[in-house]
Every structure is written in structure tokens, then in C-alpha cells.
Amino acid sequence: MLLALFIALTAWLLSLVFPWWSLAISGLVLGAILGKSGKHSFGYGFLGIGGLWLIQSMISHINNNGILTERVANIFSLPYPWLAIVMTVAIGGLAGALSSLTGYYCADVFLDNTDK
Amino acid sequence: MKKAGLKLGISGIVTALFFWLLSVPLGPAPPLGKFWNPQTGFWANTQNVKRTDHKISVASEALSDSVTVFFDQHQIPHIFASNNHDLYFTQGYITARDRLWQMELQTHAAAGRLSEILGSRTLQYDRYQRHIGMNYAAEQALEKLMAHPKTAEAVEAYAAGVNAWIDQLDPSEYPLEYKFLDYRPETWTPLKTALLLKNMTYTLAGSNSDLRMSNTRAFFGDSFIKKVLDISPPLNDPIIPESKDWNFESQAPEKPQHSFTPAIVDTVAPFQPDPNNGSNNWAVSGSKTANGYPILANDPHLNMTLPSIWYSLQLHGPDQNVMGVSLPGAPAVIIGYNENIAWGTTNVGADVWDWYEITFRDSTFSHYNYDGEWHPTTKRVEKIKVKGESTVTDTVVYTHHGPVVQTSGDEPMRSNIPKYHAMQWIAHEKSNELRYFLDINKADNYDDYRQALQHYESPAQNWVFADSSNIALTVTGKYPLKWDEQGRFIGDGSNPSYDWQGWIPFDQIPHVKNPDRGFVSSANQDPAGDSYPYYLDDDFAPYERGRRINEQLASMEDITPKEMQKLQMDLFSYHAKSILPTLLQHVKTDTLSNIHKKAVTELTEWKYENKGELIAPSLFNAWWDELYEAIWSDEYQQTDIPMEWPSRDQVVTFLHNNSSSKWYDNINTPEKETLKQLINRSFNQAILSLQNKHGDWGDSWKWGYINDTDIRHVGRLPGLGRENVFTGGGGESVNAIRGSHGPSWRMVVQLGPEIKGWGIYPGGQSGNPGSKYYDNMIDEWRDGELFPLWFMRQPPTATDSLHYTITLN
């Protein structure tokens, strides 16, 4: 859980200055330091970025009364507006999960061989 | 270790691939990561305009004083500045804030630069824009704009304002469409304002039927043109009352003795502006109104889009206080009123685009035949940038008439001598319409109005005017001096007598001031009747709207602004009234099925009102369309070449005057059809087609649905428009909503010491699809409601209707 929280927090801070892909840095570094297993780092990596993007998009969605959510869903022919939020979470979550997983394996190979 | 290394390898590759996938555009869709991330992607557009009181500091020398902008509850900005530079700067800044993407897209489209952002799918469109010389036209206009100190100041200040907005934008704040198409705004220039103004000429004065008329003459002969296309319906009611005495000598040139027969070797189908482009305007004098001062009304009919073509605002400066609608991309108010006067517009469909057959010396197009000699052409190289591909270079050949639109193509040449068509078009003239707009914004009276009009050249417009004691209308524009019917057909490019030979003097263009009938009006119909000494065109809008407006105004007394708003919503169809009784008379009632009987009953009881709630307008329109096709399409479809079809009101007149005619026979059948047969057949066909398209007789047949009003996104992005607005109206009704076309702005102004305006357009002030002010006025517009406009005489004190205030310094 700590892994998810740290990833979300650092990725959010990085995103204030750097482009969206800076979240990979959070995933790689924190996956390497805090990842306990492949499943663990993948899952909490997903939760970290997916959760961050969920909160951010929900704030936008609610503040805007869902007007833009519906319009964007229409552009992409999504049958329900909430699928736009699902899409956001899926993209962010997968990006977080994969970078965290890669970070964990990096640590596994290069740092030490003992189980964490 | 080995296994772990393998896992790392796979995971690393998958991760890298995934991030790559998120970073590249997928077909027409934007890169996923860039577009969907909540920090800088589309989610950021839910909050990118601050609608609370705030102060903005722009670069130090940009403004010479501080400017205050008050936003009312409709998000209309009221700009208060202490000098004109600051005023137009702020207009540019605020307009860009609300409409940046639209402004840029429209000028990109005009300039033939869409391929830069959309790729090769728009290359043909861009080529056409280059070939008709849109950039050349804009450069001509720019030269004159910059030569006059006041217009130069206005466009430069406006551009500086737009750029001040662009420069402070973070990419996360770019309008949604930039993110979707994955590009960024570029610097705004005065050339773009020139492009925008010339693009209005393209939209409104891009009409030309020379090729179709020449084809029709070649195919059906002169007698067809005389008997059908020259029909002038008896109900025609010209803009200038026919009692007008034209007390001047015509300076029109002499018609050549032999008429030229064009070879027509290429079949470039010229762009046709939407035939539903039209408008209404009128002004009634104080003698006919309830409070004794004139009332002016205007509703220009254009393609309705989101964001709207119009942006409403008030400009308050040291020498002006003016309110109305502006065109995003140009300074000043285009249609509106100030403390003393009001003005509005409708289009004049004059023939200001002519085609000439050009004979070239050889296929290098370096010389062409003119007046018995070979004259050199000039060439203009157009470079079209294409997204993701290499730049396309296109060379356009110009004669003294103008550009040769097509010099390559699939059509094989019929002879050794290449013959192509050059065009001459009013848009290629050096003109400065902005000078008119700046002057009319500040005008105090009739003399100022006439003075300002002298600077207005194209697209020709019926500028209606009212002050507290006068009403007037001028069929304004720069019209070439022509002999009768010059330019109706393709002309001989080698013969000087086919050239435009000067211009109709300003004092001789049709105008009317305070006529006895107590009102002036226009609805795109014939401006001045047959007695007017100059040839303007043969083809103006059908009489229906104009006649209806004139009859209504003539019968009204003690008029109030509310009644003028009601007249703008008038649904009466002169077209139906003039022909439906004849059609019904011919229906064979004895053999009708139940549904047909029901249809006949609906139509018999119909009062010719195009109401959305009724089924009768749907029946009548379907019936008319089928009948029109049944009469003409068998003959017209004998050939693929584009030809000129008779207009609605001409066909009605033809039917009244000819109970039998060879045109009624369907040439594809052995039997000889009569008009009665066509009428009955097309009636059955109409019911059948309504059943096929809209199911069984029921609510889905109501005109409000069949009228099919979609207000689409201006860049045609799906999901960003408003579909299926339930509307009444029709092309022949004063309330001219037909499909996506209709009153793009409705305005009524009560003149007098307490001048008061009402207005609405089918859209919203914000161009952001994520804003509730993107399309918030559509429902009231549909229902015929006009908002009272808050015309501020001085900066207001805080009230409920004041939404928020911005101070720029």
C-alpha cells in the first residue's frame, strides 16, 4: 500500500513540472525500492497511478458537472460517459503498473539477490 | 539470476512498448498519454477559464492604460478602455480567450492550410483554396488595411491582444481541439484578419453559375432559358420599391454584337455557396411604431455551428460605445447598434465572379491570347505543408482576369490548343471593409452611415440603417459595370469587351431613405426590379420571404419590439400557399387509401405554417421535392455535365402558366405523362419515402424532426455539436431554419433617446466544449426568445446580473 501511496504522491509532484510520462520515474524508482514481488509491484503500481488519475479526473468531472466527460465520450463513441474515466484509469494504471514492475525486476537483477 | 534477467528483459520491453504506444497518434486519434492524462490532457479543460473577478497584467508596453471588462450573465464582455488601441487589444485578448481555436481554424481553412493539421485528406480542399487565390485576395486586402492608419492600428492592436493571450498559455490550457488534433496555436497576424474578411466574400459572394448556364444553353438551347430560367414570378417584390425613379444615365458598356460560344473543355465544378445562405432585415419608421421611434431588426441566415460564427460584445471607448456581434478574428462590431444608430445586413447575390475561356499558346501556360496578341501570364507558387508528409508545391497561373483555376486534371484535351478557364472575382480587389466597420461603429446619423458605406466593397450587402428619425437601406457593394447579362455565361477571355469595365458609381447603387410606406426591408430578393439601369444578376433569392415581410410590415401599426421579434419567428410559407391548392385540386380522391386520405385532410386543413408540431409541412415538402424531380430530372439526367436548375418559385410560376408541357412527360417511359399524373405519382412517392425514412405515420413525421436541424461542431468533430434540435421554419419562411442553416443571430433594436437592443444566437459565448456556456443559448433561440442586451452607458456598479469583472493593465 505504501508503494501505491508513494508512487501517486511523487508522480503527482513530477507531473506539475514534467510531461505525463514522468510517472515512469516514480514507478521505476519506487518499484525498485519498495517492490516486494512481481505481483506486488505491478498491483500497487496500478493502484498508485490509476488511483491518482481517478481522483484527478473525478475532481474535474464533478467540478464540471460531467459536461466535458460526456463530450469526450461522444468523440470516441463510448456508449457511457463514465467509460471515459475508466479509460483514464486504465491508461494511467497500466503505465504505473508496468513501470513499477520493471523497477522491481531491475532491483532484483542489479541490486541484491536476497528476498525482500 | 538468469530467470530474473529474462523477466526484466520482457518487462522492460513491454513497458517501453506501452509508453511508446501512448506517445504516438493512433490513426486520427491523439496520442493516448498526452490526451488522457488528467494533469495536461483534456481533463484540464474543465477549468481553463477563470470566471471570477481577477486582474491580469500583460507585457509592460502592451496597454497604455488599464482596461476593465465586465461580463454579464450571458458571458457577454463589455469592454471599457480609454483609447482605441487598448480597446481593440482587449477585444483580441478576450475573443482569443473564448474562441482561439475557431479563429485559427477558420483562417487556416480560408488560406488552404488545413493539411498542416489534418494531413493529406484535406489536400484537395487546400489546393482549391489556393487556386481560387484566397491568399492572393487576403494579401490585396492587407495592403489596403495597412495603408489606412486607423484600420492598421485596429488590426495590429487586435493581433497583439490575441498574441498576448496565446503567449501566456501553458500547453495544458490549449483549447480541447488543439489537444485532440495534437498541434499548437501559432502567432496571430493582421493577414489572418484579412483572410477572415475575404473568407466572408467566399461564403457570401462565391456564387457563380457561368459554367452551369453555359452548359444548359448548349444542352437545352436558348428557348429553355427564356421560358424557364428567365421566369420572373409575378409576386416578386424588389428591395427598393418599384416606384423609385432612377434619375441618372446608365454608364453600362455596350453589349458585343455576337454572343460567344464557349468550348467548355474542362468541367471544374465551381464551389456553390449554400443556397440557404440568406437573411432578413428591416427597419420601420417612427410613424409606424408604438413609441414613435424607429425599430430595426436583422437575422442573418448562415450555416449554424458550434462555436457560433458570432461573438457578442460591447466596446466602450473615447469616441464610441457600440454593442452587437463580432466575427472572431476581426476587430469592431459587425452587426449592432450604438447610442444613436443601429445597422444590420443581408446578402446581395450579385454576380461578381465570372469565368473566361482562355486560349494558351502552348501547354507551358506562359502566354495567352488577348486582343489578338500573346500576353504573358504570371505564376504564383503555393506551398502546401502536409502533416506527416512532404510539402506539396503548386503553381497557379494568373491572367489579367485572375487565376486559372484548373491547369491540370483528368480531362483529356480536345485539341492542341489548351483551353482553360480564368476567373475574375471581386474578392481579388484591394478593399478595406474594416474601415466601414470602424466608421459605422462610431456613426451618429444618416450622413455618417452613407459616408462609411463608401468604403464597403464585398461581399455586397443590403446594409439597413436606423437612427432616431430616419430609416434607410443601401444595396452596398462594388459592382462591375456590365452590359446586360454580362457574365451570365462563360465569357471570351481574349475579347476586351468581356472584361469588367469600371464600377457602378456609389451614388447610383440602389438605396432608399424614409420611403412613403414607412419601412425598408430586404430578404436577398431582386434589389431593384427591371427599371434599374444596371445589370447586377439574374439569380436572386425567391420572393417568398421578402413578400411576406413587406405585407406584414405594411399591415402593422403601433409596432412594438416584441412584435418585430414575433415577425422574425414567422413560419408562413408563401411557397405552399402559391402551389398547394393546385396540387390538391389534381389529386384523384376516389382511389385513395386511408393514409393518403389522412394526408389530404392534413394538407387541406393546413394554414401554410411551417410549425414543428405539424405533419403537413413534412408532407408538402416531400411532395414538392418528388414533383420537382419528376418534372426535370429525366431531362437533366441525360448528361453528366453540371447544369442550372430552375428555382422553386420559377417552377411554381411555370406550373401555373403551363397546364400542359413537353417537360411533364417522362422521356424514359413510352407513355405520355400529364401534369395530373405527375402530381398523383409524386404524392404517392412522397408518402412512400416518408414511410421508408421515418417509419409509420406518427410523431416521427412531425416537421420539427424532419427539418433535421443539427448544429455541428465547426471542425466537424463528432460529439461536439448539438444534434436534432426540434425546429419549425423553412427556407421560404421568415424564420428560415432549414436543416443546419438558419438565423445565426437575431437582433431587434428600438431606436430613440433610450436605445434598447435584444439579441440571441444559436450557440454560446464560450468556445470550450467543456463549458456550460458552449451551447447554452440554443434552447431559447429555438423557442424564439431574444435576450435583452445590457447596453452600458457607464461602468456598472455590482449587481446580480453582473457575473464578474476582469481588469487588464
Among the residue ranges B55-69, B321-335, B412-426, B572-586, the one predicted with the least confidence is B412-426
User: What are the chain A neighbours of B774 within 8 Å (beta carbons)?
Assistant: 67
Report pLDDT for B273.
Answer: 64
- Tell me, what's the pLDDT at B414? 37
**Given a cut of 60, is residue B417 above it in pLDDT?**
no
Q: What is the mean pLDDT of chain B?
A: 92
Which residue of A68, A95, A109 is in closest CB contact with B770?
Answer: A68
Task: Work out the angle between the directed axes of helices A2-15 and A38-63 (0-180°, nearest 10).
Answer: 50
Instruction: Specify the range with the lowest mean pLDDT, choosing from A34-38, B256-260, B391-395, B746-750.
Output: B256-260
Provide the pLDDT for residue B408. Answer: 62
Helical H segments across B205-252, by residue range: 210-220, 222-224
Question: Please, which pLDDT band fits residue B407 given cuts at 50, 70 and 90?
Answer: low
> Residues B559, B288: contact at Cβ < 8 Å?
yes
Pairs of CB atoms within 8 A across A/B: 116
B590 — pLDDT class (breaks 50, 70, 90): confident
Contact A61 B46 (CB under 8 A): yes
Give the pLDDT of residue B362. Answer: 86
Q: How many Å lie between the alpha carbon of A52 and the closest alpha carbon of chain B?
A: 9
Helix (H) or strand (E) holding B779: helix B778-782
Distance from CA of A5 to the nearest CA of B (A): 18
Quick one: pLDDT band at residue B139, thresholds 50, 70, 90?
A: very high
Q: Most A CBs within 10 Å: which of B46, B172, B182, B713, as the mutation test of the A interface?
A: B46
Q: Count the neighbouring beta carbons within 10 Å of the beta carbon of residue B626.
A: 21
Binned at pLDDT 50, 70 and 90, residue B411 comes out as very low
Q: Which of B209, B279, B618, B766 is catalytic?
A: B279
Q: What percent of chain B has pLDDT over 70?
A: 96
Segment B745-769, tens digit of pLDDT = 999 999 999 999 999 999 999 999 9
Strand pairing class (B419-425; B353-359)? antiparallel
Q: How confident is the model at residue B3 (pLDDT cuts 50, 70, 90)?
A: confident
User: ipTM for the complex?
Assistant: 0.95
- Cα(B400)–Cα(B402) distance, integer angstroms: 6
If one counts every other C-beta atom within 10 angstroms of the C-beta of residue B649, the result is: 25
pLDDT surpasses 90 at A60: yes
Contact between residue B29 and residue B782 where contact means Cβ atoms under 8 Å apart: no
Q: Does the N-terminal peptide bond of residue B307 adopt cis geometry, omega within 30 degrees of 0?
A: yes
- The closest CB to that of A57, out of B8, B19, B38, belongs to B38
Residue B567 pLDDT more than 80? yes
Residue B362 assigned ligand-binding role: no
pLDDT tens, position by position, A10-40:
999 999 999 999 999 999 999 999 989 999 9
pLDDT score, position B410:
44
Q: Which chain B residues are within 8 Å of A56, Cβ to Cβ?
A: 38-39, 43
Query: How close is the nearest chain A Cα to the Cα of B714, in Å?
Result: 14
DSSP run (H or E) holding A31: helix A23-34
Taking 80 as the threshold, does the pLDDT of residue B109 lie above it? yes
pLDDT tens-digit profile of B143-179?
Answer: 999 999 999 999 999 999 999 999 999 999 999 999 9
Distance of residue A85 Cα from the nearest chain B Cα, in angstroms? 9
Q: Which of residues B252 and B275 earns the better pLDDT score?
A: B252
B354 belongs to an annotated ligand binding site: yes
Residues of B with CB under 8 A from a CB of A: 1, 4-5, 7-8, 11-12, 14-15, 18-19, 22-23, 29, 32-34, 36-47, 176, 180, 717-720, 769-772, 774
Share above pLDDT 90 across residues of chain B, in percent, rounded to a whole number: 79
Q: Which residue has the higher pLDDT, B267 or B251?
A: B251
CA-based Rg of chain B, rounded to a whole angstrom? 28
**Of the partner residues A56, A67, A76, the one whose CB lies closest to the CB of residue B39:** A56
Per-residue pLDDT, B270: 55
CA distance B761 to B756: 17
Identify the pLDDT of residue B413. 39
Summarised one tens digit per residue, pLDDT across range B285-296 is 999 999 999 999
Grid cell in block for residue B603: 394538407
* Residue-level pLDDT at B415: 39
Each domain of chain A, given as residue ranges in start order, spans: 2-110
- Is A98's CB within 8 Å of B14's CB? yes
Q: Which residues contact A12 (CB under 8 A, 6 or more apart)?
A: A52
User: What pLDDT is recorded for position B186?
Assistant: 97
Contact across the interface for A71 and B770, Cβ inside 8 Å: yes
CA distance B279 to A5: 61
Whether B241 shows a pLDDT value over 50: the answer reads yes
Distance CA B271, CA B269 (A): 7
Interhelix angle for B134-147 vs B190-204, to 10°?
A: 120
Nearest to A105 among B11, B42, B718 (CB): B11
H/E run at residue B23? helix B2-23
pLDDT at B277: 73
Least confident among B349-353, B361-365, B385-389: B361-365
- Residue B661 is a catalytic residue: no
Does residue B695 come out as left (phi exceeding 0), alpha (psi in the -120 to 50 range) or beta?
Answer: left
Residue B681 above 60 pLDDT?
yes
